Structure 1
Amino acid sequence: MTQSIAVRMPRARSARAAAQRPRPAVSLSNRAFGAVGVPAASFGAAIAAWYTVNYLVLAPERRFLLPAPHRVLTQSLLDWSHLGPMLDALAVTARVTAVGFVIAVLFGLVVGILMNQATWIERAVYPYAVVLQVIPILAIVPLIGLWFGYGMVARTIVCVMIAAFPIITNTHFGMQSVDRGLHELFTLGCASKWQRLVKLELRAALPSILTGIRTAAGLVVVGAIIGDMFFAKRQPGIGTLLDIYRSRLQSEDLIAAILIASAFGIAVFSLFGVLSRALVGRWHASGSRS
């Protein structure tokens, strides 16, 4: 028995030493492959699948429904007479997205902070926040147009309705998750409610808040495009062109507009991923893994 214990002890010590030993750094080539090679391979596989569907799945008389990538590139993306209107429409959508996003962030932060201040506020407001999320936006968009017109205001409201919920819930969750011991420390220091809010709750909840803002950054683009589709009486957005191309069966332009809108959404989402890493990446795991 004593001998078996003596044998186990060195093994346990060696296991602990191996666990504490620093892991070898990932080589530069592996990092480059992970950052560039994997996305490039995925993109190539998607293009190959696209060509496969176009030439092997669709009948020749139906190939216009999904034109080959080179046709989209040459007849739409590289033709300024087609690309120019798309970029002009994207600029309109980008303005709506920016305004709607700023309002959604301010609205979501205020509501989330208020819900954290008192239980009765949370019980009174939270059900409406849930309704804001689950309500079928396509069903209420016509009512928004009747109430607020068919211009910038209506498009902005659609953006806020879609993007506000994740900011509200993540702000509230982050502030509710602050360590109780830190609250007691601030109580011992006779901190005011304002000091507790600014110096403790908001700082501790920052990773969660940034996660909600990053999620909303992707949703607000969807809201702007939906608003474009329904409110097209003034300046047409990219969503307006999507609806026009669909009705006219302009498949090359339709796919090109979808790609441009997707690239815009990815750019907005990635921008706030970079912002998250810049703000919390050094001291919180959510920033380093974004």
Structure 2
Amino acid sequence: MSTPTAVDSARRPWLRTALAGAAPIVGALAGLAAIWYGVTYLVLSPQQRFLLPPPHEAFGAALGNPQLMGPMLDALGRTMAVAVIGLLIAVVLGVGYAVVMSQSAWAERLLYPYAVILQTIPILALVPLIGIWLGYSFPARVVVCVIISLFPMIANTLFGLQSASAAAHDLFTLNKATRWQRLVKLQFPAAVPSIFTGLRTASGLSVIGAIVGDFFFQQGAPGIGGLLRLYTQRLQMDALFTAITLTALFGVVVFAVFAALDRAVVGRWYGR
């Protein structure tokens, strides 16, 4: 039977790891706050400080106003829904597209250029067309999110599927493995690190895509991007900085979730 001292000792490494991981984030936030205060009080004149109010004034005025925070949190929830759904669709489409290309050289030569074209077309040039075709509503915002976050999933998954060594492929050929067995038992395990790299990149881009869609599609219930545009037009700096901070925190949380999954899965399979 373990003693309380032994249990506490077993917990301490986890606690030290958590504190070690949180320390850089806390330090970065403290540094940003110091820069913010410095610019507000040392760079801007008193007449210009409304453009960059100090953190305690910006967040205090917004967080203490339920009429402001209520719509802001509702808008953030809608943006989160768009980002999550768009990311899930991008993952499914990206992995499926990469699997098809990995099965033959001619499929890769035929299909990969379309993925490159989708990546190179400026999204702002497509947003008006997407809005006209889909009606500036929730589906249009999801499509924008998918377009922005799709290519990293395709490129990284394809690279991972093709990263298995020739010797491993020869071994599967000697054992007369089917195409499905080769894909599931060789190519996908080899692709796991690359897939998670694509997930981390696509997760951040999905948040950007959701905000871009919100920013340009003004019809219907607004997302956080729509409120950012509204606050900017009205010069509501307190609300603007609070909305930006909430958006940044959402992006950090999404990235951190996939980074943790990456460490758990890839670290277990391939060593830390």
Fold-level similarity (TM above 0.5): yes
Given the superposition, is the C-alpha separation of residues 191 and 261 from structure 1 closer, same or farther in structure 2, using an over 3 Å criterion? same
Q: Deviations over 1:39-80 (max 9, x none)?
A: 322221211110110011011111111111001121012322
Distance 1:274 1:41 in 2: 20
TM-score normalised according to structure 2 size: 0.91
Larger radius of gyration: 1
Distance 1:224 1:118 in 2: 34
| Partner of residue 175, structure 1 | 161
Distance 1:151 1:43 in 2: 35
Q: Does residue 190 in structure 1 map to residue 176 in structure 2? A: yes
**Which of 78, 100, 109 is matched with 1:114 structurally?**
100
TM-superposed CA distance for 1:146, in Å, is 1.0
Distance 1:160 1:40 in 2: 32
Q: Which runs of 5+ in 1 are unaligned?
A: 1-26
Given the superposition, is the C-alpha separation of residues 31 and 138 from structure 1 closer, same or farther in structure 2, using an over 3 Å criterion? same
| Partner of residue 84, structure 2 | 98
| Partner of residue 282, structure 1 | 268
TM-superposed CA distance for 1:183, in Å, is 0.7
Distance 1:95 1:119 in 2: 37
TM-superposed CA distance for 1:232, in Å, is 2.2
Letter in 2 for 1:262: A
Query: C-alpha root-mean-square deviation of aligned residues, in Å?
Result: 1.6
Distance 1:42 1:252 in 2: 22
TM-superposed CA distance for 1:30, in Å, is 7.5
**Which of 248, 257, 266 is matched with 2:234 structurally?**
248
| Partner of residue 267, structure 1 | 253
| Partner of residue 67, structure 1 | 53
TM-score normalised according to structure 1 size: 0.86
| Partner of residue 7, structure 1 | none
| Partner of residue 200, structure 1 | 186
Letter in 1 for 2:183: L
Letter in 1 for 2:237: S
Percent identical pairs in the alignment equals 50
| Partner of residue 153, structure 1 | 139
Q: Which runs of 5+ in 2 are unaligned?
A: 1-11
Q: Considering Cα pairs closer than 8 Å and 6+ residues apart, tell me whether 1 or 2 has the greater RCO.
A: 2
| Partner of residue 22, structure 1 | none
TM-superposed CA distance for 1:276, in Å, is 1.4
Given the superposition, is the C-alpha separation of residues 35 and 278 from structure 1 closer, same or farther in structure 2, using an over 3 Å criterion? closer
| Partner of residue 21, structure 1 | none
Letter in 2 for 1:173: F
Given the superposition, is the C-alpha separation of residues 135 and 251 from structure 1 closer, same or farther in structure 2, using an over 3 Å criterion? same
TM-superposed CA distance for 1:83, in Å, is 1.4
Given the superposition, is the C-alpha separation of residues 189 and 32 from structure 1 closer, same or farther in structure 2, using an over 3 Å criterion? closer
Q: Deviations over 1:145-199 (max 9, x none)?
A: 1112111111111011100000000011001110111111111111100111111
Give the length in aligned residue pairs. 260
| Partner of residue 113, structure 2 | 127
Distance 2:18 2:93 in 1: 40
Distance 1:50 1:234 in 2: 35
TM-superposed CA distance for 1:85, in Å, is 1.0
Given the superposition, is the C-alpha separation of residues 101 and 30 from structure 1 closer, same or farther in structure 2, using an over 3 Å criterion? closer
Q: Deviations over 1:224-257 (max 9, x none)?
A: 0000011121111000100000000001100100
